[in-house]
Amino acid sequence: MLTPFLDYLIDDFGIWQHSDGEKILIDEGYSLDDAARGLIACLALQKTNSAEVLLKYISNAHHENGFYGFATKERKFIDYPASEDATGQVVWAMGYASAHGFHEAEAKTLVKKLDTKINTLKHARGYAYTLLGTLYLDKELSSILATKLIKLFDGATDQWFWPESVITYGNGIIPYVLLRYASVIDDAATAQFALRILNFIQNKCRSDRILGPIGNEGWLRMEDALVPTFSQQPIDSAYMIWAWLAASQYFSNQEYYLRAQEWMAWFNGSNVLNAPMYNCETLEAYDGIDKKGINLHSGAESNICLLLSLYMLENKITL
């Protein structure tokens, strides 16, 4: 797969966070989570040289207490701790790298240094990203993390089957990882649990409008009657593609694969603005749908999510 815009975002230090669609916004620097998910994408797409750059960035971002979340345009790491999400994505990237024979020893060593961080996780997405990585590395730890993630749903009801009082971003990653876990461990109960979560999100995302992500202009609170439409982000559509693809594989259900394709159609223009969310020639992904129209800024997150979605659907593979 030719990926000229992704290649443009990656230099010899890392991957730039943001661009305005034409030029890189260098003042916004680099981020750890983009390097981690970028490493997965580069390995999947066999872009070895870029993968080497991103692994080195991740390794350099590590310090004795964890990771630096960001680096400046001067290539200096900012003394501010990485989020649980970003740290979890590092575990995912290292697990994927190790399983594919890419600097296996270094990847495993880096995860081992994160034992304390892994044991003190608190949030659903942190558990989800970390679990995706441990599925490649440690099945026993995966079971512990899956149990803790599911326990966050204690008290959830059919009306609000969610572990938090607000539905925000990247929601599909939670049913996705539980379906991946169910597939690897062969756990039918967890698969059904994940499908229940996935259907809950799906129903919210098509509430009174064409299918699309929950907007981040207010997010969706438990007590809200209306689901916010704007601003919609590619990460949310991508994660729903992955989750329905994983469901179709686990349950051998073609209808679920069609739902994954329906979410891909969001990228192709079947959305509230009837507009494509990427340039089909350069595969440059746009950052979202706002009230004013398509946000033509194009950051690393959006581009990686698009490319992984295209790759996973084409090859019918989960990562």
pTM, entire model:
0.97
Per-residue model confidence as pLDDT tens for the chain (319 residues)? 889 999 999 999 999 999 999 999 999 999 999 999 999 999 999 999 999 999 999 999 999 889 999 999 999 999 999 999 999 999 999 999 999 999 999 999 999 999 989 999 999 999 999 999 999 999 999 999 999 999 999 999 999 999 999 999 999 999 999 999 999 999 999 999 999 999 999 999 998 899 999 999 989 999 999 999 999 999 999 999 999 999 999 999 999 999 999 999 999 999 999 999 999 999 999 999 999 999 999 999 999 999 999 999 999 999 9
Domains present along the chain, CATH in parentheses: 27-151 (no CATH), 153-319 (1.50.10.10)
The answer to whether 95 and 136 are in contact (CB under 8 A) is: yes
